[in-house]
Structure 1
Amino acid sequence: MLSMKLLLVCLDASERAPFVLSQAIDLAKASKAKLRLFRAVGVPPELPKELYTLSPNALPDVLLKGATEQLTELAKQVPAELLDGVDTHLGVSWDAICNAARSYNADLIVIGSHGFSGLDRVLGTTAARVVNHADRSVLVVRAKSI
């Protein structure tokens, strides 16, 4: 098995995220690697009505706060000795993931085959772009249909 020290685990708000995380935990245990949980947040094309009252400058903070809370909740599933940290970033998902992998010097990117929309049948748009643009190996986790 390859020597891995850090896995960048990319999670979203989908129902598949806990399964992706469980697979990453198993891999980290087997390889004695640490996990860095990561979530990239984009500005959705349609905002909930309650966000229209915010100033445009406050929107990124609100989006990142919600994403950080969700990711922190998922992080509770990770044994403390395996958790390297939790990070969120505002931007285009695939690009933010590739940049984070370089920044953290991750040995492997772990990502679900399909995210929140689940629209693409073979491979989701974000996962496909990460596979095509990452400068390191990517493990694509295919969850059972939900």
Structure 2
Amino acid sequence: MNKILFPTDGSAYSEHAARMTGEFLEAWPNATGVVLYVTVKENYAYDFATEAVDRYEKELSKHIEKKIMEGVLQPWKDRLEYNHQISHQSQTICHVAQTEEVDLIILGSHGRGVFDRVLVGSVAQGVLHRSEIPVLIVKK
């Protein structure tokens, strides 16, 4: 194991995946990791207040980076890089995984039911079906 990708949205579900990422980094002391936060521009707020949403997302990204790098994954922060992308979540996660040549994607899941996935989709499900790289989905 050389490299791990940990996509996060800053939620409690992501924190469980962050702890699992830490366990993998502990088990493989030479492994490095990429913490990825993806901003989705596919919402209606961008149509009305692009600059305000951009500022908000930039601040949120900084908050998530600090929360992860100084929190759960602090013991390994010298082996991690933080990456913020603006695009479609599951496609971007898979693209970054391939570009960074990671060995594993560790992703939190909200654990929504079938009805919720039909209405809002699931990033974890999208990554699982798109990725050519192994995916570990962590549920609470």
TM range (shorter): 0.7 to 0.9
Aligned to 1:139: 136
The one-letter amino acid paired with 1:71 is E
1:1-146 equivalent positions in 2, closer than 5 A: 4-32=1-29, 33-43=31-41, 45-47=43-45, 54=49, 56=50, 59-60=53-54, 62-77=56-71, 78=73, 79-80=75-76, 83-114=79-110, 120-121=112-113, 125-143=122-140
Q: 1:21-76 deviations in whole A, cap 9, x for unaligned?
A: 0111011111222221111110363549xxx5x5x366445423422332232111
- Structure 2 CA distance, aligned partners of 1:82 and 1:34? 9
Residue 15 of structure 1: how far off its partner (Å): 1.9
SS in structure 1 at match of 2:12: coil
Is the 8 Å Cα contact of residues 5 and 105 (structure 2) preserved in structure 1? yes
Residue 18 of structure 1: how far off its partner (Å): 1.6
- Gaps of at least 5 residues in structure 2 are none
Identity %: 19
- Gaps of at least 5 residues in structure 1 are none
- Structure 1 CA distance, aligned partners of 2:69 and 2:41? 23
TM-score by length of 2: 0.79
Q: 1:60-106 deviations in whole A, cap 9, x for unaligned?
A: 45423422332232111321465321111011100110011011111
